[in-house]
Chains A and B, each alone.
Chain A
Amino acid sequence: MNAYRIVGTPQPQIDARDKVTGRARYTDDIRLPNCLHAAILRSPHASARIRAIDTARAIALPGVRAVLTGADFERTFGVLPISKDEPALARERVRYVGEPVAAVAAETAALAAAALALIAVDYLPTTPVLDVRQALRPTDDPLHPELSHDNNLHKQVEQCFGDPEAGFAQASVVFEKRFSFPSVTHAFTEPHAVQVEIDGRGNLTVYSATQVPHYVHLALAQVLDIDEHRVRVIKPHLGGGFGGKSDPFPHEMIAARLALVTGRNVRLRFSREDVFFSHHGRHPTQLTMKLGFHPGRGITALTGDFLIDGGAYGSFGVVTTYYNGVLLQGPYPVPNFAFRCRRMYTNKPMCGAMRGHGGVNPRFASEVLMDMALVQSGLDPCQARIDLIHRENTLTINEFRITSVGLKRGLEEAMRRSDWRDKYGKLPYGKGIGVACGFFISGSALPIHRNRRPASTVRLTLEFDGAVTVYSGAADIGQGSDTVLAMMAAEVLGVDLGQVKVVAADTRLTPVDLGSYSSRVTFMAGNAARNAAIRMRRLLVAAACRLLELPAPEYRAPAPPEDRFRQGGRSPDFDADFLGANPDYDDGFEFADGRIRHLGSGRETGFLAAVHAAIEGPGVLQTVGNYRPPKLGGSFKGAGAGLSPAYSFTAFIVEVSVDPDTGFVKVDKATCAHDCGFALNPLAVRGQIEGCFHMGMGQALMEEVLHDNGAVQNAGFLEYKIPSPFEQPEIDLVPSTSDESEGPFGAKEAGEGPLAPVIPAIANAIFDAVGVRLFELPLRPDRVLAAMRKATAR
């Protein structure tokens, strides 16, 4: 039962009213005075040398204030320090259709567009590299010669744990299949946009539709070669990200440079076509996976060989290359495990992070193979999965520390609620039910930039008027992170949610937070907010004790961990005022209804009276909370990839109808068990799971970015079809909670993990319906029909 007033109860987003009335302000809604309009000229070629760019006619056009080319940017950039390979504007060569080549700032958008037409670029087209097989071939002209590879390899990762060959020898069933995954993209609704405000001292305020204000801040200073303190990045309301806004982007560098060059404010926004050119979506993947299974032993071995298509630049690709392999270490034990993943450069828009980053395509493969193995072994695919799921407090073979696991009970309940036993294998031809499981990180335990700063810091103030303000660098991208931070502060301080204000994602006002990716915000910024609020509570308790003439309570210092497993097997960092992981704040007082009451004596004072008493000395009440992940992981190369302080677990049971005449698949119903620890905001958790289902079903059944000679062919929402309300099924959410001792109030992630199992659950349901397995996405009607005809012909 929920012992809390606010956390654990369904709460609408604190800015929902602004959103339903049109008051919410997104980046392109800002109106800066005397603003120039910027436009970007993009490459029409997938691969070409730039012999010359003539900007004379453009700059001569009245009203044009500046024209930039690659010569105006010395430094390349990238979200990962190990692959800063992307120029703000192409230099010497272009590597994909749509790559920014030149940019203009003019008094009006129409003038800027007219000026683009006056820029003459002399291209010498060269032969593009369009797929990963071609990229593997030796060449003396790779996309990125600086890597000194004789082909277009970007990153290769190989890891091996245990003895896969011995593991396969122990198996009673071995399946090996080739899988193929196309390009899919985020399809968020708000196109990228940026506006730059410049002041008289040359300071830049950059409003950007970004998930990572801090990384944008760092990249701007580096690329523009200005002091970091001259840059301030603000994320206004943001219209969806899903990983597609989690890199610093060329257009941010371009707009800022234009502001510096002209001394004027600058506005720039993308068309929908620009968004498809920019992409950063899920990597197209070719993979061969082999799974060995034994009914008594579980998975005996798992191996994978991945070729992933990175497109023209690095983005998060090095991480993706690891994640494709290492995120197979759950939700079941894999004692013998090896993979090789190669990320190739091709002349297409770059791929990067997309919801479920790196773990989605391999999850499809492993859960389909798992299903085949369980069916072949005569086991119930649902019950067998329940039996195999990781136990709590497990160390995986690659040294991931698995702590809380609530999925066993959850999947049992989902099995009951979906009437699995009455349906599996018993539905009429054309109807089927399938299951798949997955797991995901709650934030990465290691930062992208190696430093000793906390992963998340929150500053909290309490003013004379009782207003609690949470200052957090975390970026609310529509998932409701501002709301959940406010909820935690309100809970600890016993105030109404409305009394908590949130100032977020402003790199001048808010402490550093690494951003909204890898499902880190609720866990990490959440812990920081909770700790800041606990410290504030202590200030108020001290003041209340003075007012009530009570002795101040003694706070227990965090005990040295008895359970070294929970500390990653090492001693924790005990700073002088380290509160411990998810610290208890039971101090003998009750904060509620504007009162602070001492439970022992029943004496009480007003909340505001305590605030006024506490504020007398310092003049302002301010506290700070941090989160640092525990030290985790092994010492082998690449041991940091996929390390997280906690992992979420998900299972989906999906029911489908397959039309035997057309192969058209309709999802009729889904039942989900998602272990997000303690659901801080059940309304938001439900929203994340339903949103994950939508995106997963889209990838399963219909979504595919098509290219012709490297050019995106379906750069719009009519041709890149995502599921409509008619395709989305009812989703029954069953309780599947656990108590994660390091998560804030016991919480883990909910925003990404639920996506991956959706796709194999649909595929496994198709098998139950019509008896065919498909290994290539999307599961289009023509492919399903062809497989059914092939099966019938056999």
Chain B
Amino acid sequence: MNSGIDGAQPDAGAVRLLSLAVNGQRQQRAVAPDITLLDFLREQLGLTGSKRGCDLGECGCCAVLVDGRPMLSCLLPAADLEHSAITTIEGIAAGTALHPLQQAMIDEGAVQCGYCTPAMVINGVHLFASEPRPDAEAIRTCISATSCRCTGYNRIVQAFERTAERFAEEQP
């Protein structure tokens, strides 16, 4: 039924010490070998911005950046991420300054229930970091990594397009 080990004290015989960086901060924690990155973030670090929708890599809501690349944290054993740099949704805004995509998601009405929003932003941040002016196909491909049932995706596409326009204006 429920997978993962929520809030569990890891089995003393199996724990290993994991060192990694999360949102720029070095973390050293004991983890069980079967704990996923999603559980590690949500249950051990209390970073609940990454969402659990299926635990099977199907809905995409748990996406985080691992060394700059979007990955589904529900499929990654935390213990494999020694020395990795993880960025979660909590680490995207620079202080109070939102990433342009975050602001566009707000302004364009791309946020309804908000459950898919963190992963949409994570994937989008990676997209704009690697291709500041993505075409319509690239935008839809990026968005299709995450399941959204509220919006019909139109406003999310619009937010991505606005962001692309903004990057184009800044660096003509």
Give bound CA distance, A590 to B131, whole Å.
50
Establish whether residues A686 and B155, one from each chain, have CB atoms under 8 Å apart when the complex forms.
yes
Q: For A269, give the chain B residue with the smallest CB separation.
A: B2
Of the residues B9, B89, B149, contact of A694 by C-beta under 8 Å: B149
C-beta contact mask, B30-73 vs A, less than 8 Å → 1, else 0? 00000000000010001111111111101101000000000000
Hey, which chain B residues are within 8 Å of A39, CB to CB? 1-2
- A residues 164-203 touching B (CB-CB < 8 Å): 186-191
Give bound CA distance, A316 to B151, whole Å.
26
Q: For A112, give the chain B residue with the smallest CB separation.
A: B2
Given contacts A189-B113, A479-B112, contact A110 B149 (CB under 8 A): no
Establish whether residues A189 and B111, one from each chain, have CB atoms under 8 Å apart when the complex forms.
no
Give bound CA distance, A41 to B1, whole Å.
8
Establish whether residues A10 and B109, one from each chain, have CB atoms under 8 Å apart when the complex forms.
yes
Of the residues B56, B121, B147, B150, contact of A691 by C-beta under 8 Å: B150
Among B42, B55, B154: residue with most chain A CB under 10 A: B154
Distance in Å from the Cβ of A504 to the closest Cβ of chain B? 14
Hey, which chain A residues are within 8 Å of B49, CB to CB? 21-23
Distance in Å from the Cβ of B5 to the closest Cβ of chain A? 5
Establish whether residues A19 and B117, one from each chain, have CB atoms under 8 Å apart when the complex forms.
yes
Instruction: Let me know if A609 is at the binding interface, CB within 8 A.
Output: no
Establish whether residues B7 and A108, one from each chain, have CB atoms under 8 Å apart when the complex forms.
yes
Among A29, A108, A687, A694: residue with most chain B CB under 10 A: A687
Instruction: Let me know if A82 is at the binding interface, CB within 8 A.
Output: no
Of the residues B9, B50, B56, B59, contact of A108 by C-beta under 8 Å: B9
Instruction: Let me know if B163 is at the binding interface, CB within 8 A.
Output: no
C-beta contact mask, A25-63 vs B, less than 8 Å → 1, else 0? 110110100010101111000000000000000000000
Q: For B46, give the chain A residue with the smallest CB separation.
A: A31
Give bound CA distance, A186 to B113, whole Å.
14
Hey, which chain B residues are within 8 Å of A686, CB to CB? 109, 155
Instruction: Let me know if A693 is at the binding interface, CB within 8 A.
Output: yes
Establish whether residues A24 and B114, one from each chain, have CB atoms under 8 Å apart when the complex forms.
yes
Stretch at the interface among A235-243, A384-392, A562-570: A235-243
Establish whether residues A274 and B107, one from each chain, have CB atoms under 8 Å apart when the complex forms.
no
Establish whether residues B109 and A12, one from each chain, have CB atoms under 8 Å apart when the complex forms.
yes
Give bound CA distance, A693 to B150, whole Å.
10
Establish whether residues B111 and A12, one from each chain, have CB atoms under 8 Å apart when the complex forms.
yes
Establish whether residues A35 and B2, one from each chain, have CB atoms under 8 Å apart when the complex forms.
no
Establish whether residues B111 and A691, one from each chain, have CB atoms under 8 Å apart when the complex forms.
no
Establish whether residues A687 and B151, one from each chain, have CB atoms under 8 Å apart when the complex forms.
yes
Establish whether residues B153 and A189, one from each chain, have CB atoms under 8 Å apart when the complex forms.
no
Hey, which chain A residues are within 8 Å of B58, CB to CB? 272, 716-718
Give bound CA distance, A642 to B148, whole Å.
30
Establish whether residues B115 and A240, one from each chain, have CB atoms under 8 Å apart when the complex forms.
yes
**Chain B count of residues within 8 A CB distance of the other chain:** 58
Establish whether residues B153 and A684, one from each chain, have CB atoms under 8 Å apart when the complex forms.
no
Give bound CA distance, A478 to B148, whole Å.
12
Hey, which chain A residues are within 8 Å of B93, CB to CB? 21
Of the residues A189, A690, A723, contact of B115 by C-beta under 8 Å: A189
Hey, which chain B residues are within 8 Å of A542, CB to CB? none
Give bound CA distance, A774 to B144, whole Å.
29
Establish whether residues A694 and B152, one from each chain, have CB atoms under 8 Å apart when the complex forms.
yes
C-beta contact mask, A699-728 vs B, less than 8 Å → 1, else 0? 000000000000000001110001111101
Hey, which chain A residues are within 8 Å of B154, CB to CB? 690, 728, 730-731
Establish whether residues A716 and B54, one from each chain, have CB atoms under 8 Å apart when the complex forms.
yes
Establish whether residues B153 and A725, one from each chain, have CB atoms under 8 Å apart when the complex forms.
yes
**Chain A count of residues within 8 A CB distance of the other chain:** 72
Given contacts A25-B48, A189-B149, A239-B51, contact A717 B109 (CB under 8 A): no
C-beta contact mask, B62-90 vs A, less than 8 Å → 1, else 0? 00000000000000000000000000111
Give bound CA distance, A274 to B55, whole Å.
12
Establish whether residues A693 and B152, one from each chain, have CB atoms under 8 Å apart when the complex forms.
yes
Distance in Å from the Cβ of A399 to the closest Cβ of chain B? 35
Establish whether residues B92 and A21, one from each chain, have CB atoms under 8 Å apart when the complex forms.
yes
Give bound CA distance, A237 to B117, whole Å.
13
Distance in Å from the Cβ of B101 to the closest Cβ of chain A? 8
Establish whether residues B149 and A242, one from each chain, have CB atoms under 8 Å apart when the complex forms.
yes
Establish whether residues A109 and B7, one from each chain, have CB atoms under 8 Å apart when the complex forms.
yes
Q: For B148, give the chain A residue with the smallest CB separation.
A: A189
Distance in Å from the Cβ of B57 to the closest Cβ of chain A? 9
Given contacts A239-B51, A272-B54, contact A109 B90 (CB under 8 A): no
Hey, which chain B residues are within 8 Å of A17, CB to CB? 98, 106
Establish whether residues A687 and B112, one from each chain, have CB atoms under 8 Å apart when the complex forms.
yes
C-beta contact mask, B9-38 vs A, less than 8 Å → 1, else 0? 100000000000000000000000000000
Instruction: Let me know if B4 is at the binding interface, CB within 8 A.
Output: yes
Q: For A190, give the chain B residue with the smallest CB separation.
A: B115
Hey, which chain B residues are within 8 Å of A189, CB to CB? 51, 53, 59, 61, 113, 115-116, 147-150
Instruction: Let me know if A328 is at the binding interface, CB within 8 A.
Output: no
Establish whether residues A691 and B117, one from each chain, have CB atoms under 8 Å apart when the complex forms.
no
Hey, which chain B residues are within 8 Å of A26, CB to CB? 48, 51, 115
Establish whether residues B150 and A37, one from each chain, have CB atoms under 8 Å apart when the complex forms.
no
Among B4, B98, B116, B149: residue with most chain A CB under 10 A: B149
Identify 26 residue pairs between A and B in the complex whose beta-carbon atoms are under 8 Å apart, listed by A's number: A12-B107, A18-B114, A20-B105, A20-B114, A21-B89, A21-B92, A21-B93, A39-B1, A109-B8, A110-B5, A189-B53, A190-B51, A239-B51, A239-B114, A240-B115, A269-B52, A271-B3, A272-B58, A479-B112, A687-B109, A687-B151, A690-B152, A690-B155, A717-B54, A725-B144, A731-B152
A-B CB proximity, top 3 nearest? A22-B49, A478-B113, A239-B115
| Known contacts A188-B115, A690-B151, then 8 further A-B pairs from the complex at CB < 8 Å, ordered by chain A residue | A16-B111, A22-B118, A25-B48, A39-B1, A108-B9, A109-B8, A478-B113, A725-B157
